[in-house]
Structure 1
Amino acid sequence: MERIVRDVIGAVERQDWVLVKAFLHPYLHWSEPGVAMRGRTKVLARLAEGPVPTAPDFYEVRDGQIYRWTVR
């Protein structure tokens, strides 16, 4: 698992929302079983509700931030 993925999961576990926001691209694409959303604000709300996300099967980084997070 790459460092940025570990860092995102760790920040969510600590509920460090300022840091989580810094890791996520504003136009983030987020997919989990039964959930698909776009946009950092929506994803932050989902992460705040829990549970902590699992490591993605696929992710993409743009401009040093997570742009795409996909769990199958």
Structure 2
Amino acid sequence: MKYESFHRMAMKDLIDEAIMDEESNIPLKNRLIKRRLMDFRAYLLDSGLSINRLELTFPESRHFIGILKWGCLI
């Protein structure tokens, strides 16, 4: 997955990191996952990805937050 490759971390490690932030009661705006998603979005834009493709790709990554936040698929 491109998101994993970009951050050079396995999805399990990214999930564990997000869970740790949540359990530490870090506000959503300061969590590592937000910074990682914004960095990934910037990377996609800088790589010349079209806006249409970005709109298709980025929501898939944001979907990951919904799974973590609500514990289910949304």
TM over 0.5, shorter chain: no
Relative contact order: is structure 1 or structure 2 higher (C-alpha 8 Å, sep ≥ 6)? 1
Q: TM-score scaled to structure 1, two decimals?
A: 0.32
Q: TM-score scaled to structure 2, two decimals?
A: 0.31
User: Going by fraction, where is helix more abundant, 1 or 2?
Assistant: 2
User: Going by fraction, where is strand more abundant, 1 or 2?
Assistant: 1
